[in-house]
Structure formats: C-alpha cells, structure tokens
Amino acid sequence: MEEAMGEPSERRDEGRVGEKRIAKVPTREEILKGTVGKVGKKKKSGIVYISRIPPHLKPMRLKQMLSVHGKIDRVYLALEHGSGSKAKNGKKQGKSYSEGWIEFVDKKVAKHVARLLNGEPMGGRKKRSKYYYDLWNLKYLPGFKWENLTEDIAYRRRVRDQKLAAEVSAARKERDFYLSKVDQAKVISEIEKRKRDIGGEDMLRSIEEKRSARVFPQKKARPDPVTDK
C-alpha cells in the first residue's frame, strides 16, 4: 500500500535526473534534415517574379526547373485572358500563362537565382529542349511577401467580379429596354390594325348606305305652250 502511494511522486519526477531534464529524442525528420541540436532563426523567404511564361509551360514543370538552384515553397502563375476557354470547333484550349511568382524558402537563394538566371536560356545548353530559345525574365522582389500576392489576387478578383456584374447588369437593362420597345411596337401595330379594320368597316357601311339610297336625276322643266303664252 505504501509503495502504491509513492508511485505518483515517482511519475511526476519521470524524465528528470538530479533535477535535470532528459535530452529530447530527435525525430526522424530532424535526423534526415541534419538539424539535430541546431537552434537558429527561421530563414526568411524570398519572392522572384517571372514576367514571361513560355507556351505550354506548367507550374509544376517551372518548379522542377528552378528547384535545382534552391528549395521552393510555392509557385503561382497567372492565366492569360481567355485561356482555357473553348475554341470555335468546340474543343477546350490548353491553359497558357502570362506571368508568375516563385517563393524560395531562403531569400538569399532567391536573390542568387534571379541574378544568375536572368537573361539566360531557359533550356540551358540543351538544344533539344523546347525552351532553348526562351530566356529567363526574373526579378527579385525585395520586401515582397506571399501575403501581398494573395491580397493582390483577391483584389483583382473582386474588381473582375464587379466589372462582370456591371456588364451583366448593363446587358440585362439593354435587353429589357429592347423587349419593352418590341412590346410597345407590337401594341402600336395592333392599335393601327384595329383602326384600319374599323376604318374599313365604316367605309363599307357608307358604300352600302349610298347604294341603298336611290337618287334620281332631275330633268329641266319644258315650257308649257298654253301657260307660258
């Protein structure tokens, strides 16, 4: 019974030896990354802007091309206007992009990549690469954070939605105005038709009345030889 009473105190002291904590067991991820026992400040990320995206270049492929120079966290490419819509033949067109942003985990790497690759062939020295004749157009954005990009994207989306709503409202008003004019024209046409119908009936009625009224032409009176002497 006394031994059982002493168990909680022993459990409270578990993990301590001579008032010192037992060293924390490193995780598998820390061992693989080689960060065991290392304590330091978190590296600040850096954003690189790419002003031109070659045709058919996808975000994943772009990330693969730049990941050889440093670890990348996120990539965002802006779709070109009308990209992904259906063509005249009914087939859906492939997506194409106009510009993009790449977030490197370390801003020093981002600066280095922008300085190293800007103006260089995207395909490197491989002439077989379909991007051999395309050049990197990269610029490091100092002080720019991914949150700024998401805010800008949200703002553009709101502006686009408001513009679309205004266009839809204007189109709806134009349609209603046209329909009201069409209805008005139909009403006027119907009124004129009724007038013509009524006018035709009056004309027929007057003709019938004229036909029914017998009019005899009067002859001039001949002089009487007896009375006119």
pTM exceeding 0.75? no
Q: Which CATH superfamily is domain 40-144 in?
A: RRM (RNA recognition motif) domain (3.30.70.330)
Q: What is the pLDDT of residue 141?
A: 94
- pLDDT mean over 83-91: 61
Quickly state the pLDDT bin for 8 (edges 50, 70, 90): very low
* Residue 90 and residue 27 in contact, taking contact as beta carbons nearer than 8 Å: no
Reference 101, options 140, 156, 158; nearest CA is 140
Q: What is the pLDDT of residue 211?
A: 60
Please determine, for residue 195, whether its predicted confidence score (pLDDT) is greater than 50: yes
Q: What is the pLDDT of residue 212?
A: 64
Residue % of the chain over a pLDDT of 70? 63
* Cα distance between residue 56 and residue 122, in whole Å: 14
Q: CA dihedral in degrees (154, 157, 163, 164; nearest 10)?
A: -140
- How confident is the model over 142-155, as pLDDT tens digits? 999 999 888 888 88
Kindly give, in sequence order, each residue whose CB lies less than 8 Å from that of residue 26, ignoring residues fewer than 6 positions away: 36, 37
Residue % of the chain over a pLDDT of 90? 30
Q: What is the pLDDT of residue 172?
A: 84
* Cα distance between residue 12 and residue 5, in whole Å: 13
Please determine, for residue 32, whether its predicted confidence score (pLDDT) is greater than 70: no
Kindly give, in sequence order, each residue whose CB lies less than 8 Å from that of residue 36, ignoring residues fewer than 6 positions away: 26, 30
